[in-house]
Amino acid sequence: MSQVIATSIPLDNDHPARRLRRLAAAVRVHFTWWGVRRALTAQQKEEIGVACAADSRLLTAGKKLVDVRHEAFRRLTSLRTRIGQYWRSVTLPYVEPGIRLIQQSGIDAFVHQMEGFREELTEAEGDLNAVYDQVKADARDRLGRLFNPADYPPEIRGLFAVDFDFPSVEPPNYLLQLNPEIYAEEQARVARRFEEAVQLAEQAFIGELAKLVSHLTERLTAGPDTEKKVFRDSAIANLTEYFARFRDLNVCSNAQLDQLVEQAQQIVRGIAPQELRDNAGLRQHVATQLTAVQATLDGMLVDQPRRRIIRAHPVDNGGNHANGD
């Protein structure tokens, strides 16, 4: 499960956007990642075209340099996923791609955790390097004539890494001296961005709660012929984790959302997963109550422009460097 920094944004009389701007910092996570995909050469596509009786000019083809399902490589990709999940779990969305907002009081814990991840990544890279000859020999066998030794570095070192920084999203102070009017315009622009960040945070929390409640309700509702569905402990555990993260990161901007989170928490409070498996009446009671919460959440979801909701996740961009979001 994602680790949550146990700090809370304190309540005050500030507008939520002003409070968020004062108490949060911007943070980015960057990945350096060996790109293991290569496009086939024109000659190779020509050969494939001949074999398939196809015009090579209309073909798009590529190859993987290594088997990414190898245990050593999968450990690296799994670690990258964990890092991205952790980063998102302790931060709020921001309007600039690749940047999220973290509580200033949680920065020390974040840095400590990221340094631990960095050590794990270095160790996992060393494990891949230890079996690199074996992995490359397997690729030679699998790729046949498409294998090209020039595609492979001499060793796996410095090809996988994670870094992070805390970029400023505020207008620079020197601008105040150079041009106060432009400085004021920049201040207003940043203020609008934090207003939007508050909206993004609201929608992210609403969307996540709606998804968790919908999943749990569906699992608790009997299928055809009153067939009981498979119910996993994680359906409750994920909700419990959400409640903790909401408490720690909530910007206190939406009283209705606050009430719905509290309502959902009361519905499942003190209920063990096994009780829901064993007690049909309890399952029906919880499902009915959660359905009411779900209906309200659905009405709160806003169909905002896609760019405002979705950011690029940590991905392999086919080269040596990939940014995480």
31-89 pLDDT, tens digit each: 999 999 999 988 888 888 888 988 888 888 899 999 999 999 999 999 999 999 999 99
Q: What's the length of the chain?
A: 325
Cα angle: 97, vertex 103, 108; to 5 degrees: 105
- Give 56 or 320, the one with higher predicted confidence: 56
Work out the percent of the chain whose per-residue pLDDT is above 90.
75
Residue 303 has a pLDDT of 55
Q: How many CB atoms lie within 10 A of CB 264?
A: 23
Answer whether residue 230 shows pLDDT above 90: no
Nearest to 66 by CA among 130, 129, 134, 135: 135
Work out the percent of the chain whose per-residue pLDDT is above 70.
87
Residue 27 has a pLDDT of 98
According to DSSP, residue 221 is labeled S
The pTM for the full model equals 0.83
Alpha carbons 139 and 18: distance in angstroms, whole number: 55
Answer whether residue 311 shows pLDDT above 60: no
Task: Please list the alpha-helical segments (H only) found in the chain.
Answer: 16-23, 42-52, 71-89, 107-130, 132-143, 174-178, 180-220, 234-249, 255-268, 273-278, 280-300, 306-309
Overall average pLDDT of the 203-212 stretch: 96
| Greatest mean pLDDT range, 59-63, 240-244, 303-307 | 240-244
Residue 127 has a pLDDT of 98
Burial 5-41 (b: 16+ CB within 10 A, else e): beeebeeeeeebbebbbebbbbbbbbbebbebeeebe
Q: How confident is the model at residue 224 (pLDDT cuts 50, 70, 90)?
A: low
Q: Lowest-confidence range among 178-187, 190-199, 204-213, 308-317?
A: 308-317
Answer whether residue 133 shows pLDDT above 70: yes
Overall average pLDDT of the 218-233 stretch: 79
Q: Lowest-confidence range among 101-110, 125-134, 306-315?
A: 306-315
Mean pLDDT over the full length of the chain: 88
Answer whether residue 29 shows pLDDT above 90: yes
Residue 66 has a pLDDT of 96
